[in-house]
A and B are shown apart, each in its own frame.
Chain A
């Protein structure tokens, strides 16, 4: 089954404790992206990756890092989480030639205390 898998689904942490949210897709997609969803704001792009070792900032990259060492994986790293990063996070992937149609993971709800 074609899918985008995020882990963990729920995470509560404290300010300053480094964390990683993993994202994996099994569709051999070149393009992957991270979004955060906040009430009344829709989804905003954090980072994206056009292919292995090619990443770039989205609209709200501050406080986040990403890496793309393998095609299927695109982890999101919070080096020093802060309460304003409490949000619902989504990973998405798509084919390069059809980036409009993105496939989303089920989401990771993060609370930073």
Chain B
């Protein structure tokens, strides 16, 4: 079984300051991990993915995430927030061994608010 816990339901930052969105996962195997972003009234868009290559993963729009196996974490960061980053962010895990359903297990989401 796999699960994802996003530690903050809401995060508020000022424009130009760093962003940290926290995610812990649980799985009995080496998982694939993702961050998806959902802007208001839009579908979800893939930000970045980890699939057992480099532990520091760079994504779109200046975001990156670091896979830490010892801490079972996959936190999302960005050095400087922009107003356009305001959205809901989902941490997602899947089982790379699953050649069938390959279900994505979503965290409950973190709403990022960026103050001017």
- Residues of A with Cβ closer than 8 Å to B? 4, 31, 40-45, 48, 50, 56, 58-59, 90, 92, 99-102, 104-107
Give how many A-B residue pairs fall within 8 Å (CB-CB): 53
B9 and A100 form a contact (CB under 8 A)? no
Residues of B close to A56: CB separation below 8 A: 101
Known: A101-B49, A105-B43. 16 other contacts (CB 8 A): A40-B9, A40-B108, A40-B109, A43-B106, A44-B106, A48-B101, A48-B103, A58-B101, A90-B44, A99-B102, A100-B32, A100-B49, A100-B104, A101-B46, A102-B104, A104-B44
Asked if B103 contacts A100 (CB within 8 A), the reply is: no
Q: Mark B72-116, 1 if CB is under 8 A from A, else 0.
A: 000000000000000000100010100011111011110000000
Partner of B51 from the list A4, A41, A100, A107 (CB cut-off 8 Å) is: A100
| Interface residues of B, Cβ cutoff 8 Å to A | 4, 9, 32, 34, 41-46, 49, 51, 90, 94, 96, 100-104, 106-109
Q: For B4, list chain A residues within 8 Å (CB).
A: 42
B46 to chain A, nearest CB (A): 6
Which of B41, B45, B104, B109 counts the most A-chain CB atoms under 10 A from its CB? Answer: B104
Closest partner residue, chain B, to A90 (CB atom): B43
CB A62 to nearest CB in B, in angstroms, measures 17
Which residue in chain A gives the minimum CB-CB distance to B42?
A106
Give chain A nearest CB distance to B5 CB in angstroms: 11
Report yes or no: A42 in contact with B107, Cβ–Cβ below 8 A. yes
Q: Is the CB of B103 within 8 A of A45?
A: yes
Q: Are B49 and A104 in contact (CB under 8 A)?
A: no
14 pairs, CB–CB < 8 Å, chain A vs chain B? A4-B43, A44-B106, A45-B104, A48-B103, A90-B43, A99-B94, A99-B102, A100-B32, A100-B102, A100-B104, A102-B46, A102-B104, A104-B45, A106-B43
Closest 8 CB pairs of A and B: A42-B106, A104-B43, A99-B102, A104-B44, A43-B106, A106-B43, A42-B108, A40-B108
